[in-house]
């Protein structure tokens, strides 16, 4: 069995770990939360005490932490995985990064004798857990060859986007632009519908079967209807990701008025104290502005 490590056991990383265990890989896990590590030990994984300990034991390491800072720490920090991995090992970097940062990480890993796939993911927690994510990957052909069975276990679709790190992150950036704008638009539409007196459940059903629907509308509006803002993907994720989109576009002198407006809505939600809640909490910005009563989670 190929020894595969997963660093970061959140909704996506945890799903990847489950998929690897289901495919009978020798799965190793690390997370800063001891309880998260132990939950996967109970399912058959091997817990590592540090990213370095995980790297020393694994041929392939999947990094699914929150941002570039965390990615750099778990790879290149004092107890980073990169310094402990065997030459020729592969890092699958799957956090959403700015394209230029992905390029830098790829170069640093190459200097250490390691291969990298710049491989951000999409599909949500459910598809991560079922091994049906979409992966947008770029990197050397040798890295793809060494990781093919791992990619097959964790994703329904893996798009090969070139041999240079950064290409995968560019495509993920565009995906996040659309996802962030679609969520904000869904929240705005539901808030207007509630303000106008439409029944929220009926509105959701009609729009879901009409031309105005989107994947994000169908996926996120049920959270609003249930009054359940448990974070499957938090508001702060889109504060970060749309920030990456806007910063990158600025380098090209490229205007993004819709993205900028959506980013302000996520910032407003964070400012209201909803940064760690589900990203559908953007609807609460509109509720506060218009004095709306949103559906509430059933008691008990």
The encoded tokens of residue 162 equal 């070139």
Residues 6+ apart with CB under 8 A from 120: 93, 94, 95, 96, 97, 135, 136, 168, 169, 171, 172
Kind of pairing between the strands at 121-122 and 133-137: antiparallel
Between CA 123 and CA 133 the distance in angstroms is 5
Residues 6+ apart with CB under 8 A from 235: 266, 269, 270, 274, 275, 276, 277, 278, 279, 281, 282
User: Quick one: CA dihedral 203, 207, 212, 217, positive or negative?
Assistant: positive
Between CA 38 and CA 29 the distance in angstroms is 9
Between CA 10 and CA 148 the distance in angstroms is 23
Catalytic residue among 149, 172, 250, 284: 172
Between CA 80 and CA 105 the distance in angstroms is 13
Q: Confirm whether 127 is a catalytic residue.
A: no
Catalytic residues: 172
């Amino acid at each position: 069995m190929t020894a595969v490590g997963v660093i970061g056991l959140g909704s996506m990383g945890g799903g990847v770990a489950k998929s690897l265990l289901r495919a009978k890989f020798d799965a190793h896990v690390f997370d800063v939360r001891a309880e998260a590590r132990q939950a996967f030990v109970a399912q058959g994984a091997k817990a590592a005490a540090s990213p370095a300990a995980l790297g020393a034991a694994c041929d392939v390491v999947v990094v699914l932490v929150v941002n570039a800072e965390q990615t750099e720490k778990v790879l290149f920090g004092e107890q980073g995985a990169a310094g402990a991995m065997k030459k020729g090992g592969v890092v699958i970097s799957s956090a959403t990064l700015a394209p230029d940062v992905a390029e830098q990480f790829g170069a640093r890993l190459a200097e250490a004798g390691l291969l990298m796939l710049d491989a951000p993911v999409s599909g949500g927690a459910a598809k991560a857990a079922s091994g049906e994510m979409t992966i947008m990957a770029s990197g050397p052909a040798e890295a793809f060859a060494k990781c093919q069975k791992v990619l097959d276990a964790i994703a329904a679709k893996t798009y090969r986007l070139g041999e240079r790190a950064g290409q995968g992150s560019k495509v993920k950036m565009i995906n996040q632009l659309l996802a962030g704008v679609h969520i904000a638009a869904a929240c705005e539409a539901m808030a207007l519908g509630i303000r106008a007196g439409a029944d929220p459940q009926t509105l959701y059903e009609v729009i879901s079967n009409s031309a105005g629907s989107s994947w994000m509308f169908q996926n996120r509006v049920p959270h609003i209807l249930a009054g359940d803002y448990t974070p499957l993907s938090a508001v702060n994720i889109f504060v970060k990701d749309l920030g990456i989109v806007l910063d990158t576009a600025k380098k090209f002198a490229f205007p993004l008025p819709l993205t900028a407006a959506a980013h302000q809505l996520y910032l407003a939600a964070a400012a209201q104290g909803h940064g760690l809640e589900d990203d559908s909490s953007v609807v609460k910005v509109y509720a506060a502005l218009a004095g709306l009563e949103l559906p509430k989670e059933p008691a008990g």
